[in-house]
Structures are given as C-alpha cells and as structure tokens.
C-alpha cells in the first residue's frame, strides 16, 4: 500500500470522506448526549429546589385508594443506593430502597390514608434470612394499622412463603405451586482442578481452627466433619425458624411439615389448598378484582397500584426527620478490604475515616454500626476496630448485625458497648487463615516457562509463587496467622469481658446463629435495627434524634460521570442473569484476597 501511494503521490486516500463524516457524526452525538445531560441537570436541579416529589407540601404521585405493591426481586441491601435518576418516572431507573428505608417506607404507608393495604408478591425474595425476618416484623406491625396485606404469586419458594405467611390471605395461580423441601448448603471444592493444572495450595490456619473451613476447598475434596457439624447446626436453626412460622400459618405440626418435605417437596395448588398453605387459588385478574372490592373501587376502574420504589421516591423527604440530637449510622456492608474500597464493600481507609468523622463531630451523640459483612482483610478489620475503641471512649457505640457479622465482621463489632443481632444472623467465625499458591508445575509442565532467582539473602524472594516454599518460610506464615488469631481472641475477650480461654473454646473459626451467640455471650440483645436505635436513644437520654448516614460516597453527579457503582451497573443485567451475578461477584472477591483473612468461607442462600 505504501508503494502504491508513493507511485501516485497526488491521489488522496480513499478514507478521507468516511473519516470526515465519522467525525461529523461523533460531534453530533456528543452534542446530543450533552443536551440530554444538561436537561437532566436542569430538571434535577429544579426538582431539588422545589423539594422533589416528597417536598414540604403534600406527597405527590400517590392516588387515593392506592395499594402498595411490594415485590422483592432485587438484591435487598441494608443501605439504599443513591440514584441520579430517582426523580424520573422510569421503572428501570427507579430507586430500590434498602432494608432500612424499605421498613421506614412501609411504616409511613401504615399512616398514609391514601394507602389501603399492601399487595405482596413474594415468589422470589433476594434477601438474607435476617433481612427477611426484619421485613416480616415490619409487615406484622403494618397490619396493626388495620390495613390489609394480601400475597399473590405463581410460585412460592420457602423463603418467599416465609415472608408471605404474615399476610391476611395468600393466593396462588391455579397452575402454580410452592416448595417445602428443607434446607441445604452446597459447597464446591477445587483440589482436583488444582491438581490437574499443576497448582499446589499452601494452607495456613491456627492450630485448633478446625471450623475455619474457608481453606478446605483448596486441599480437600469434601467437607470435613467439623465443617459439616457447624453447617448442619446452622441450617437446623434456620429450618426450625421457618417451621415455626409455617406451623402457625397452616395449623400443621412441625413433624407434619417435615413429613411433607420428605415425601412431596413440590406442592401443587390442590395440595396447598387442602393443607391450608394458601387461602385460595385465583388468576391474577380475579385477585385484582378482589383488591378493588377491598379498596371500594368500581370494577370498571383500574386498580391503583403503586410500586414500593415509586412510593419511596414520593415520600422519601417525609422520612427524613430532623432532631435535636444526631446519631450516626455507619453502614458496614460487604467484604472487608484494604484501602478505600467501593460502595459495595467495607474499605478499611474509608471506614476508619467515617467512624473518625462521626467521633470528632460534636453534634453526633452516638454511633450505630450496622454490620452486614462476612469479614475479609485482617489488617483492615484491625484498623476499623481501633477506631471503634477510640469512639467508644467518648460516645456510645451500638452494633446492629444484619445477615452476616462474622469473622472480620465480628472483629469490628466486638468492642461496641452493646451488640444487637437477629436470631438468624450468622456471626462468630472468630479465626484467621491464609492461602498461598505454588504454580511451578503449571508454569513448567503445562506452559513451558521456567524461572530462576538471584538473591542476596535467604528470604529475599519470599513469598514466591513460582517454587515450593521451604519449611522455614512456611513457619514464618504460620507464626503470623497464629499471632493474628491470638490478637483476635484478645480483642473479643476485652470487648465482651470473657476470658481468653473461654473465647478460644467457642471460636476456632466456628459460625453461630444470633440466638446461639447470645447464649455464648458474643451478643447482648436479640433484635433488629429498630432495637439498636431504641437502645441508642436510651443511652443518650433522648427520643428527639436525627440520623446521619456514613460513610459519604460520591454525590450522585460524580457517580454518574465517574462510572456507575457495581450495584447500579447490576440494574442493567437482565433478570434472567441475576442469579449468576452474585456468584460471579463471589468468585471475583475470592480472586482479590490479599494478606491474611478473617472471613467466612461460604455464601448461604435460602430459597
């Protein structure tokens, strides 16, 4: 091509006009996008000036005789993700309220004369067991207002039915069904895969930490007896809780429910109706007509359904109350990591600053640390623990545990004045581990890459993943994890007032439910976030409070231009792929493990 151009120097390249028009198109598109963004800025700015949809005037967007439509098909986190498009009436961009705000929204609806009741669609509930328990409690309180809660679905999972069991009536599609099969935890092990590809895992955990099973997939092909024992105890507690609510709703005894689970785990409509699991089988149009009748709406008119997302957007300003005394709520949600982290994990640096800011703010009278974390970095956990200690010295610190507050999640909690946990919270897991990989065989035998080292001292190239570790090198790592474990035990001992030997006997990496942790002294009170709030109010001697949220992440416009957070980006994933996202994220988190870890080894999903 170069030779051809040299022979015809006066000929213009054929790519000029495509490039020219491409540039014009690029300028046009840029201008178009800027115009849209400017419009968004203008509308949101004017909305902010007028107080938004839920300003100081009447709540807008809510019709008389409305029914609040509650469908939990999104990942229910504790904290509401900031949404730059919240003021726009676009379903795909509506704000999904977190658990705390969702409860407040339902509470507000109980007093809103325009809301006649709740239509709960509980076929799928993407929330942890403790979150479902908190939400269920809020729905029970809602019923005290005299308003109805009716559930309709085409299929109910066990967790969905657990939430639905609070309803005044449960209605199932005539072709639908429900499951009652018991609980199970499925674990994956990688040892054979590592053997095949030529990777050897070096495992380090303190002596006696037999329950710290996060390392088992790397050197075992099935769960150890210790791990099986702790997991069986865990799901037995969960199952007992579900059976209790199922029994209360249906009138069937737990042994009868267990018999169904062992003989007919899938329950069709006829069986569900006969066994009193449901009120009646209906098609949706029949269910809608029933709701119209309950709301005294003419059959010829449409049913006024308002989704909880839209209702939250409409009333959120009303939920924000000012008070004489400020209480900080620090949301520690997600894996504990080193550095700043992101909005979906607990970055050590970010949370150190958040707790410090709350401590140094004279207007903040107390701190509530809401922990929903499986743990993570031992160093980051230690740094956050230190800030809790410093804060506790000058103002009350109360911990509210969500679905998980285990390992590092317990580490950052143990120094608090009071620890509140749900009875189904997964906590404890007091222990530490570290994993290192030797990829020498993979490099040499599979890929054909060899390595060599020139060094000045014995440990100059340590740690090194391209060769086996020496016994002296393994001893160094072992001493480190032993030291971290001893420190962890001492932190718990000091915070809970329990002798170190006693802590060690209930630690060793073992997970406990909140109810068991209460009996062991690891938790003070069985309750939820509202319980923690009430305790904190008593500590400061006032009910006139205002809650301030920490940590502060990017404002919504910085989030827009800086790239959506991982939670926001998941909104663009198709609903069919939703279940894969959380597992993909779990794998990504595992790949990013650095240093010694205080975390639990598994995700527990109850359906």
Kindly write down the DSSP assignment for every residue of 228-260, as one continuous string.
HHHHHHHHHHHHHHHHHHHHHHH---HHHHHHH
Token readout for 11 is 């000929």
Among the listed residues 131, 373, 381, 407, the single catalytic one is 407
What is the separation of C-alpha 542 from the centre of its chain, rounded to a whole number of angstroms? 31
Give the relative orientation of helices 99-111 and 129-143 as an angle to the nearest 10 degrees.
10
Q: Name the strand (E) or helix (H) holding 202.
A: strand 200-204
Among the listed residues 212, 249, 326, 567, the single catalytic one is 212
Give the relative orientation of helices 99-111 and 529-540 as an angle to the nearest 10 degrees.
80
**Alpha-carbon span 531 to 134, nearest angstrom:** 11
**Alpha-carbon span 575 to 461, nearest angstrom:** 47
3-state secondary structure 120-171: EECCCCCCCHHHHHHHHHHHHHHHCCCCEEEEEEEEECHHHHHHHCCCCEEE
Angle at 422 between CA 528 and CA 398, to 5 degrees: 55
Closest CA to 53 of 304, 317, 347, 445: 317
**Alpha-carbon span 391 to 358, nearest angstrom:** 8
Q: Is the Cα torsion angle 249, 240, 76, 217 positive or negative in sign? A: negative
Q: Is 407 a catalytic residue?
A: yes
- Tell me the catalytic residues: 212, 407
């Amino acid at each position: 091509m170069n030779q051809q151009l040299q022979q015809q120097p006066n000929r213009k390249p054929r790519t000029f006009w495509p490039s020219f028009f491409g540039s014009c198109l690029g300028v046009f598109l840029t201008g178009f996008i800027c115009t849209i963004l400017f419009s968004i800025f203008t509308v949101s700015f004017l909305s902010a000036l007028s107080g938004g949809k839920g300003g100081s005037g009447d709540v807008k967007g809510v019709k008389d005789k409305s029914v609040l439509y509650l469908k939990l098909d999104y990942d229910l986190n504790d904290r509401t993700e900031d949404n730059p498009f919240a003021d726009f009436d676009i379903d795909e961009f509506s704000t999904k309220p977190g658990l705390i705000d969702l409860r407040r929204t339902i509470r507000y609806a109980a007093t809103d004369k325009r809301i006649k009741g709740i239509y709960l669609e509980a076929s799928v509930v993407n929330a942890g067991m403790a979150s479902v328990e908190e939400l269920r409690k809020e729905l029970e309180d809602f019923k005290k207002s005299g308003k109805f809660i009716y559930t309709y679905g085409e299929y109910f999972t066990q967790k969905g039915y657990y939430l639905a069991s609070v309803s005044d009536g449960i209605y199932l599609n005539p072709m639908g069904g429900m499951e009652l099969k018991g609980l199970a935890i499925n674990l994956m092990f990688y040892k054979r895969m590592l053997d095949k590809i030529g990777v050897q895992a070096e495992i380090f955990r303190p002596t006696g930490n037999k329950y710290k099973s996060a390392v088992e997939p790397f050197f075992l092909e099935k769960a150890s007896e210790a791990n099986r024992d702790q997991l069986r105890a865990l799901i037995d507690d969960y199952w007992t809780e579900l059976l209790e609510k199922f029994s209360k709703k249906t009138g069937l005894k737990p042994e009868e429910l267990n018999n169904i689970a062992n003989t007919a785990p899938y329950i069709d409509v006829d069986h569900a109706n006969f066994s009193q699991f449901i009120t009646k089988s209906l098609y949706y149009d029949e269910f809608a007509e029933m709701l119209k009748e309950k709301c005294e709406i003419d059959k010829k008119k449409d049913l006024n359904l308002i989704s909880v997302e839209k209702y939250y957007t409409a009333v959120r300003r009303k939920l924000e109350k000012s008070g004489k005394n400020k209480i900080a709520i620090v949301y520690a949600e997600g894996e504990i990591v080193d550095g700043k982290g992101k909005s979906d994990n607990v970055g050590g640096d970010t949370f150190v600053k958040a707790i410090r800011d709350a401590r140094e703010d004279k207007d903040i009278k107390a701190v509530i640390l809401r922990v929903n974390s499986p743990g993570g970095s031992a160093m980051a956990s230690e740094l956050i623990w230190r800030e809790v200690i410093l804060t506790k010295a000058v103002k009350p610190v109360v911990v509210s545990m969500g679905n998980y507050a285990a390992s590092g999640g317990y580490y950052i909690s143990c120094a608090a004045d009071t620890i509140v946990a749900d009875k189904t919270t997964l906590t404890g897991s007091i222990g530490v581990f570290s994993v290192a990989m030797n990829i020498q065989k993979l490099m040499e035998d599979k890929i054909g890459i060899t390595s060599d080292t020139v060094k000045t001292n014995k440990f100059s190239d340590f740690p090194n993943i391209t060769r086996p570790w020496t016994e002296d090198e393994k001893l160094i790592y072992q001493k480190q994890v032993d030291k971290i474990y001893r420190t962890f035990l001492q932190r718990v001992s000091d915070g809970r007032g329990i002798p170190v030997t006693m802590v060690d006997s209930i630690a060793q990496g073992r997970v406990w439910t909140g109810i068991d942790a209460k009996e062991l002294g690891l938790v003070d009170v069985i309750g939820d976030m509202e319980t923690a709030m009430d305790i904190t109010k008593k500590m400061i001697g006032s009910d006139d409070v205002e809650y301030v949220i920490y940590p502060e992440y990017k404002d919504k416009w910085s989030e827009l231009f800086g790239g959506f957070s991982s939670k926001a980006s998941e909104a663009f994933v198709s609903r069919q792929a939703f279940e894969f996202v959380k597992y993909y994220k779990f794998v990504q988190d595992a790949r990013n493990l650095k240093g010694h870890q205080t975390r639990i080894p598994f995700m527990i999903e109850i359906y």
